[in-house]
Chains A and B, each alone.
Chain A
């Protein structure tokens, strides 16, 4: 495999101001994404996991510039996205798309399926006339497994799984190279999830797509990803090849996360590492290593110095003092 980087993120930060008082002054910041760096190779799937509120969605949206980054660098196919002006950015959006978690909120309830899927074609002038547009819409709907008989219907007439297919069709319509999928199956029925996962995998093959796949379900991430990134409280704690990450997790948080997954096999007995306490607030994250108050191996240095995020060989990145001491 030639490892050509499609997307490269450097020191990306996204802080949300917390406003208070009569004058709505900024009193603090939610450090939703706080200095993360990673890359995605062409044609691969990078899974991004972490607990609720750790900043996964914020990272995804900031990369697409749906949110303005506070700091950092986003290089996509050689362009620095943060330097594009509004017009250039709109043009660039053809190359990067997003699929949302909620198949109900992400489709305009007052537009027909044909209009939802046709909108990107209209925006970018991808069809010369109405007939061509219709053909293209039909083709895309067919690709995601929806028949043309649905074109005139409104989103509420569809089941969750079908709606998610419409969302995928809309993203595909501009023929992007990168798709950020923000928990695309979390809201779906168990028996429907596999349909959408399979669809995403098929499309990846057929259209040589690159995915940033955000999820909190580690089994799903393991199934679909080539590499996996683990986030905790706005920071990346570990990024590695899937097999390496699951077989040999280096960061204590990854270890406990993996051990916490309930396994669908009653004979399987895991050595569970039960973490103490809850995830702290991203407004006032713990000093040093953000994981130290919950970490079973925390040392003195952990509460004082932030561990460096670095490569521990063959692209296995992690940020933990234990590793530095080894």
Chain B
């Protein structure tokens, strides 16, 4: 099955179509953010404008259609510009960690022997550390900030891809067409690029699209825990962390501050869901092929 064919199937599949629509919706929001929510100071558009200094959130009103959160940060603005943050974190972290994973997994499996042994032991060491804790510790060491969050997530986020890639390559490596290429005198680089990667990349793509959502959630949790984006930065996780003190509402009115958690919560959930839908559909489309 070729890329075009996969694409056509993706568009035919109702579930993946829904996922693609949601992703497109977020893309449009991210692209048109300056028009949807014009920044107060164009020099630093990611800082959420504040509508006062009162600590208590205010419900949606005409001026702040999603209301304001703790310390009067505008929720609507935060959600809109937070979309950009989500894409940036997701794409950069998934992109780089997938690249590292593919490289390590491929080299490890292709060359085998000592190379494999060393690389896989290193992978094991990284895998043995609890992901979230390790990421928090590393971010704390590096200092608060979104870039450092991304570094931490990449550092501890490549292993599953490496493992997946390794098992894929081990399987393909013994295929006769790889042997045929070797018999023709193809260089290792050529064999890897044209024969091995071409036939192993699909599951990794599926895996990467699934991870888009979870990485954004993890980044949000770090923000929620206060080691992520600086205060006031447009980031969904931070938006939820603003609601931390208000989630339970007040006595007799538990849902009083619902808007502080619902809007950013929905944004994160939808974002994550859409990537999973696409990933799932990908797998369904490719599975019959994988079974053949």
Which residues of A are interface residues toward B (Cβ below 8 A)? 61, 64, 66, 89-94, 96-98, 100, 102, 105-111, 119-120, 123-124, 154, 167, 170, 174
Contact = CB atoms under 8 A, between A and B. Distances in A.
B80 to A, nearest CB: 41
Interface in B163-188: 175-177, 179-187
Given A167-B180, A174-B185, 11 more contacts: A66-B182, A92-B185, A93-B185, A108-B177, A108-B195, A109-B199, A119-B181, A119-B184, A119-B186, A123-B186, A154-B2
Given A102-B176, A123-B190, A108 B198 contact: yes
Interface of B: 2, 175-177, 179-187, 190, 194-195, 198-199
Contacts of B181: 108, 119
A227 to B, nearest CB: 24
A98 B181 CA distance: 10
A122 to B, nearest CB: 9
B215 to A, nearest CB: 29
A92 B182 CA distance: 12
Nearest to B186: A123
Nearest to A89: B185
A108 B176 CA distance: 9
Nearest to B201: A110
A60 to B, nearest CB: 10
Output the residue of B179, B190, B195 with the most chain A CB within 10 A: B179
A97 B183 contact: yes
Nearest to B195: A108
Contact of B185 (A94, A105, A106, A110): A94
Contact of A66 (B179, B187, B199): B179
Contact of A174 (B184, B190, B198): B184
A100 B180 CA distance: 8
B184 A105 contact: no
Contacts of B176: 100, 102, 105-106
Contacts of B190: 123
A105 B187 contact: no
26 contacts: A61-B179, A91-B185, A92-B185, A93-B184, A93-B185, A96-B183, A100-B176, A105-B175, A105-B176, A105-B177, A106-B179, A107-B177, A108-B177, A108-B194, A108-B195, A108-B198, A108-B199, A110-B2, A111-B198, A119-B194, A120-B184, A120-B185, A123-B187, A154-B2, A167-B180, A170-B184
Contacts, number: 63
Given A102-B176, A107-B177, A123-B190, A90 B183 contact: no
Contacts of A100: 176, 179-180
Contacts of A98: 179-180, 183
A141 B182 CA distance: 21
A285 to B, nearest CB: 25
B224 to A, nearest CB: 42
A124 B179 CA distance: 17
Contacts of A92: 185
A170 B185 contact: no
A96 B180 CA distance: 11
Contacts of A96: 183
Nearest to B181: A119
A154 to B, nearest CB: 7
B2 A123 contact: no
B183 to A, nearest CB: 5
Contacts of B2: 110, 154
A197 B181 CA distance: 23
A178 to B, nearest CB: 11
Contacts of A124: 185
A123 B185 contact: yes
Given A108-B198, A110-B2, A154-B2, A90 B177 contact: no
Contacts of B199: 108-110
A170 B180 CA distance: 9
A280 to B, nearest CB: 26
Contact of B187 (A90, A154, A174): A90
B118 to A, nearest CB: 15
Nearest to A61: B179
Contacts of A119: 181, 184, 186, 194
Contacts of A111: 194, 198
A160 B199 CA distance: 21
Contacts of B177: 105-108
A93 B194 CA distance: 19
A111 B191 CA distance: 13
Contacts of A64: 183
Contacts of B179: 61, 66, 98, 100, 106
B289 to A, nearest CB: 9
The 5 closest A-B pairs by CB, nearest first: A93-B185, A106-B176, A90-B185, A105-B176, A108-B177
Nearest to A101: B176
A61 B180 CA distance: 11
A75 B58 CA distance: 87
Nearest to B180: A106
